[in-house]
Amino acid sequence: MDSLIALYPGQGSQKPKMALDLYDASKQVRHLFTLASEVSGLDLYQLLADGSEEDLKQTKATQLAVTLASRSAYLRLRELGFSFTAHSGFSLGELSAYAGGGLLDDETLFTLVAKRAALMDEEARKIEETQGKLGMAAIIGLDYATVEQALREAQIPGVYASNDNSATQVVIAGLQESISKGKEVLQAKGARRVIPLRVSGPFHTPFMEGATEPFSAFLETLKFKNPHSLVISSVDGTVIRSAQEAKEHLAMQLAKPVRWTEAMKHLASISQEEHAQVAEVGFGTVLSGLWKNSNAAIPCRNLGSEDAIWAYRKEMES
């Protein structure tokens, strides 16, 4: 079977009951659910089986559940004989990419996700209490450079370009009032649509700088290894070459924009050089859609469910 380049989704891909088919199919995945629940202090099976969409919007629940779904899909793919050439994750998904690339084990992964979520949520709450309601919104029809320049020239305080998703999709984040003003500016620049997102804070903006230092200090208490396969950071699209570099990028990404377009360019080059297939390893099709919009020569498919994984395996064996 062809080797895979794995793309791991971030917040916003969550949905009740995701990954439960993988739980039912694999003893290894069931062990992972137990480990993640013990490490985080949250019953993740119950959350996914019985929780509502509203329950999954809470930062800690979201980040743990999305990571669990991605890691479950990865383990199931390995269990069924798939190998991996490279890994990259969108925002939160970068942590799953580090696990896939051998930089950290599952206990460290879920310890890190829980701490990251707590710090981000705490910082967002502080800002909301002192400055006002927060949010994020997707801007459709403009590229990152145009959005960043337009917001800078408009001099609207409290809103930033936070995610460079594709050549025609950028996310802005910050104070809701500022986002509303930014929406008007960007629509005047040619934005076709502005879509509010199901995320609870102004992540990947300077608003998160208060969480960066404590998160960096926490990272230094954890043991990372050097990667055993290629890992591409969504902070800047570069290769993570060491354990220390991984820690630096994880701390940096809290308050820095996600440069997913840069990561996709690098991954597309790797896929052609290595003749590797590209797969979204986790629930949903957000990254598959962004990959399609990038016009890459090799398509990206979602391999986040038991049915999808088996269908792809049969296709590869035929």
Catalytic residues: 91, 204
Q: In what order do the strands lie in the sheet with 84-89?
A: 230-232, 84-89, 4-8, 277-280, 300-302
Cβ-contact 148, 161 below 8 angstroms = yes
Residue 233: φ, ψ to 5°: -80, 140
Cβ-contact 185, 207 below 8 angstroms = no
Half-sphere exposure for 313 (CA within 13 Å, toward CB): 15
Q: CA-CA distance, 153 to 302, in Å (whole number)?
A: 39
Identify residue 241 by its one-letter amino acid code: R
Q: In sequence order, what are the residues at sequence separation of 6 or more whose Cβ sits closer than 8 angstroms to the Cβ of residue 246?
A: 98, 103, 104, 224, 227, 231, 240
Instruction: Please tell me the total number of residues recorded for the chain in this structure.
Output: 318
